[in-house]
Amino acid sequence: MKTLLAAVDFSDASPAIVAHAAELANALVARVVLLHIVEPVASYVPVGSAMDVIETAPPPIMEQDLAAQKTHLDRLAAGLKDVTTVAVIGLAADEIVTQAQEHGAELIILGSHGHGALYHLFAGSVVTGVLKRARVPVLVVPTVK
């Protein structure tokens, strides 16, 4: 394996995910793509509105937020040897799979927060979404204490 993609959300679990990625990268002599996704903020669109009223470009505040997230990501990656940091705006599961393909990742590393079934029923799970779409192995790091 030459490239690992590790996705982080800046929660308390992120350092554990980065540590696992670093350990694997050292053992496999691989580079790490450290990814953070800023999910778009839902906006109100009246029922029955035409598609042309829905804004497709991210609002300017999100672009500023993305720059701040990239800085935070660079700090988190400071201990890694061969690392590329990527911060993007999008839906988490979709972007993880897309970025893995774009960077030629041979393994995706994610953290699992251990939310219950009710949470997943309403909010879904990024891990589940990635597992359904990924074309490479996915390593799920349990982050529940």
pLDDT tens track of the chain, all 145 residues?
Answer: 799 999 998 888 888 899 999 999 999 999 999 999 887 766 655 666 555 555 555 555 566 778 888 888 999 998 888 999 999 988 889 999 999 999 999 999 998 765 555 444 444 578 888 989 999 999 988 876 5
Say what the pTM is. Answer: 0.79
Q: Is 101 left (phi over 0), alpha (psi -120 to 50) or beta?
A: alpha
What is the Cα–Cα distance from 111 to 138, expressed in whole angstroms? 10
Q: Does domain 3-41+53-142 have CATH number 3.30.70.141?
A: no
Q: What is the pLDDT of residues 24-43, one digit of tens each?
A: 999 999 999 999 988 776 66
